[in-house]
Amino acid sequence: MEKELRVIISGGGTGGHIFPAVSIANAVKALRPDAKILFIGALGRMEMQRVPAAGYEIKGLPIRGFYRPLWKPANVGVALDYLRSKWQAKKILRDFRPNVAVGVGGYASSAALGAANSLGIPTLIQEQNSYAGLANKQLAGKASKICVAYEGMERFFPAEKIMLTGNPVRQSLLDATITREQSLKSLGLDPAKKTVLLVGGSLGARTINESVLQHMSDIAAATGLQFIWQTGKYYSQQIAEQLKQTPAPANLKVMDFITDMGAAYKAADLVISRAGASSISEFCLIGMPVILVPSPNVAEDHQTKNAMALVNREAALFVSDAEAPGKLIGLAIDTVNDDAKLASLHEHILQMALPDSAEIIAKEVIKLAQ
């Protein structure tokens, strides 16, 4: 009879942390259906909705990020919340009695895995980015195993603990059976035309949106092409107002949010996207030609570092956030019309794919628990 498997998974704040966390939980469940899994997140953050929607229980901590610069008086309250969170995390762990704890980055994981370390519970951390996050760097010393998505992570973590696994992605993307033609028809688009998909994450990306708004005439003139533009929920109202003044051309489909990204990727010949770690892992696994526009509003400019890991292997194109409004749409039109370039990007990005990440990590989690 196998020993009971009880797993804590902690982290979140963004979809980039939550998708891998849920994928790891699903993979653990697939290998050990009897496993008891509890998530620990930060109150008020995205994981508090997304994790229960995926079918798992989650406990929230009152943890939040420090303000910059660190000497701001408000950080006294942040520090007190951290101490309160670590105390609460210890109580949750004592009640749940896990035999292993997994951290995927984000505020909550620093308190939850810090508590696990102090209670002698083995820990595994998963780092999605090519530039390690603060929480994971702090936790690395006491972690038993560190699963990474990029080579060269020895500059952040002890080399003997590192395992190159890749990032777990949304299973629905890999399971999408819809054809390109079906996907385009479901979106009311022409299967005979090449398609550019612009996405800025679920909330949207202001720079990508501005790039579209400033180049409506170029999009309208590209008669052999069609564009799918996900504006993001945050910007949808504002853009709807602007489109009343300047209506979108017939070859531009405007959507505030795309629920089925698997179908949207199937429809696309080229994607324009931010350079979040989860998105990049998805593009690698499906071999998607992509132009990356890294967000400048992230810690340590890690999205630029993620993007350059691909650009240096000729696996993606890069446009800086500052240059995007001027050159992004022109580059997209030139690239999608260049079959040789699309084929080269497809081939090189596929070579960077690391499949079965969630299952590989889940096996390590189970091994540590035993």
pLDDT digits (tens, 9 = 90+) for 57-96: 999 999 988 787 888 898 899 899 999 999 999 999 999 9
- In whole angstroms, what is the distance from residue 159 CA to residue 127 CA? 14
pLDDT of 204 strictly over 70: no
Nearest-angstrom CA–CA distance, 208 and 257: 14
Residue 26 contacts by C-beta under 8 Å, 6 or more apart in sequence? Answer: 54, 171, 358
Arithmetic mean of pLDDT, 34-48: 95
Region 114-138 average pLDDT: 94
pTM as predicted: 0.87
Residue 131 and residue 306: Cα distance in Å, rounded?
A: 7
Specify the pLDDT at position 243: 84
What pLDDT does 252 receive?
A: 94
Could you identify the residue written with the tokens 């395992």?
Answer: 163
Q: Which of 155, 189, 198 is nearest to 324 (CA)?
A: 198
Which residue is listed with tokens 């699963």?
147
H or E stretch covering 180: helix 180-186
Question: What does the alpha-carbon distance between residue 278 and residue 88 come to, in Å, rounded to a whole number?
Answer: 29
Provide, rounded to the nearest whole percent, the portion of the chain with pLDDT above 90.
73
- Residue 150, SS3 per DSSP: coil
Which helix (DSSP H) or strand (DSSP E) does residue 144 occupy? Answer: none
Which whole number is the average pLDDT over 16-27? Answer: 91
